[in-house]
């Protein structure tokens, strides 16, 4: 693996992304955490990368205390871990990914059921609006990253509509680990139309108050998402060997 040094990353550009998303309301430690997470999400810091505290502190122009708070938070979330060589970005194996999606399927299936059975008319309207907009974005051929962002909004809206704070906490933790998977499944052209159909099925079940149908549709969606994710990893592994 070619090591990516922190000082080689365009932290100014990443800081702009964080500012657009979160404004100036973040503490120094929170900003550091979001910067590192954004670097991971964009691929600037790949899984398995070793993080050197001194390099990060210099690159981010922050003192040791807030940086250590940020790193501790990321360790607690499972994004970072210590090995014999120091602190690294966690690298998920195939079994890890299977386990992650199994848990995600269970929790998001519960969320879809909750959204169908407990959400308000306004919450159902939000979910429907997001699904409708997504269909338009897919039809006009928007970029995979933009579609992925809209996909996240769809899943978050369902989670909020389930009205279960414990479920929200559990899925938020899983979401931190999902960023370690890298490339979005929307980069597989044939997967895009499948996602639209799967989201439509989830949305229709929620709109009609069909808890069983919503849960089943979500689990089918995430089973297919796992298959696509493993295909992407196979492609990536093959490219690494070429």
Domain-embedded: residue 165:
yes
Q: Give the number of domains in the chain.
A: 2
CATH classification at residue 187: 1.20.120.530
Torsion, Cα 31 35 41 42, to 10 degrees, reads: 140
216 pLDDT more than 80: yes
- For residue range 51-69, list pLDDT tens digits in order: 999 988 988 888 999 999 9
Lookup: tokens for 46: 């790949």
Q: Do 100 and 48 belong together in one domain?
A: no
Lookup: tokens for 228: 């696509």
Bridge partner residues of 163 (DSSP): none
Tell me the residue range of the domain where 16 lies: 6-89
Helix (H, G, I), strand (E, B) or coil at 29: helix
80 pLDDT more than 60: yes
Domain-embedded: residue 122:
yes
Q: How far is CA 170 from CA 159, 174, 175, 229, in A?
A: 11, 7, 9, 21
Q: Tell me how crowded residue 201 is: count the other CB atoms within 10 A of its CB.
A: 17
Q: How far apart are CA 161 and CA 130, in angstroms?
A: 13
Domain-embedded: residue 21:
yes
Q: Do 76 and 174 belong together in one domain?
A: no
Bridge partner residues of 81 (DSSP): 88
- For residue range 119-159, list pLDDT tens digits in order: 999 999 999 999 999 989 888 887 877 888 889 999 999 99
| Residue 221: per-residue pLDDT | 97
Q: How far apart are CA 124 and CA 162, in angstroms?
A: 10
Lookup: tokens for 147: 């579609």
Residue carrying the six token digits 């090995």: 83
| Residue 113: per-residue pLDDT | 99
Domain-embedded: residue 1:
no
Q: Do 107 and 222 belong together in one domain?
A: yes
Q: Do 102 and 59 belong together in one domain?
A: no
- pTM of the entire structure? 0.81
CATH classification at residue 28: 1.10.10.10
| Residue 238: per-residue pLDDT | 47
Contact 90, 97 (CB under 8 A): no
Domain-embedded: residue 47:
yes
| Residue 8: per-residue pLDDT | 66
Q: How far, rounded to the nearest angstrom, does the alpha carbon of residue 103 sit from its chain's CA centroid?
A: 14
Residue carrying the six token digits 């690294």: 88
């Amino acid at each position: 693996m070619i090591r990516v040094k922190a000082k080689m990353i365009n932290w100014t550009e990443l800081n702009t992304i964080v500012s657009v998303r979160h404004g100036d309301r973040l503490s120094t430690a929170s900003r550091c955490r979001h910067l590192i997470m954004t670097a991971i999400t964009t691929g600037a810091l790949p899984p398995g990368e070793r993080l050197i505290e001194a390099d990060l502190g210099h690159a981010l122009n922050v003192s040791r205390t807030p940086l250590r708070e940020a790193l501790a938070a990321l360790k607690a979330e499972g994004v970072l871990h210590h090995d014999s060589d120091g602190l690294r970005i966690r690298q998920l194996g195939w079994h890890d990914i299977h386990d992650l999606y199994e848990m995600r399927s269970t929790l998001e299936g519960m969320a879809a059921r909750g959204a169908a059975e407990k959400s308000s008319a306004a919450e159902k309207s939000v979910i429907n609006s997001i699904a409708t907009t997504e269909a338009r974005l897919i039809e006009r051929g928007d970029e995979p990253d933009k579609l992925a962002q809209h996909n996240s909004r769809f899943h978050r809206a369902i989670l909020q509509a389930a009205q279960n704070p414990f479920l929200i906490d559990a899925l938020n933790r899983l979401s931190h680990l999902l960023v370690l998977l890298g490339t979005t499944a929307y980069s597989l052209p044939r997967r895009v139309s499948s996602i639209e159909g799967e989201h439509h099925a989830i949305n229709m079940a929620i709109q009609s108050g069909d808890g069983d149908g919503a849960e089943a549709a979500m689990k089918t969606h995430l089973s297919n998402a796992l298959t696509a994710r493993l295909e992407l990893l196979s492609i990536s592994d093959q490219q690494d060997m070429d």
